[in-house]
Amino acid sequence: MEAAIAVLVAQFKAFAGADGSTDTLSKGEFQNLVTSQLPNLVKNSADPAVIEQLMSSLDQNDDGELTFLEFWQLVGRLANQHGGFSR
């Protein structure tokens, strides 16, 4: 599992670092990440309204940037939905 975890951290940082800090995703960085890295888990990511809604549901302190832990909640929710868990 550690290799897979390292991939997720490295990809987050790669997208987060597009404009400055590698610690957080701006809305544009988030859209680029979702569109290119989560094409099957997030549908209609080309629609700005989809990205807007997802972003605001995750951005707990509402500062327009997603931390790694905020982003992690999305990935967990998607993995849980698509993983076929009964609970």
Note the residues at the interface with its own copies (CB under 8 A). 1-5, 7-9, 11-13, 23-24, 33, 37-41, 67-69, 72-73, 75-80, 82-83, 85-87
CB of 79 to its own copies, least distance (A): 5
CB of 29 to its own copies, least distance (A): 14
DSSP string, 7-53: HHHHHHHHHHGGGS-SSEE-HHHHHHHHHHH-TTTSTTTTSHHHHHH
In which residue are the tokens 């897979």 written? 4
CB of 64 to its own copies, least distance (A): 14
The tokens of 55 are what? 């972003």
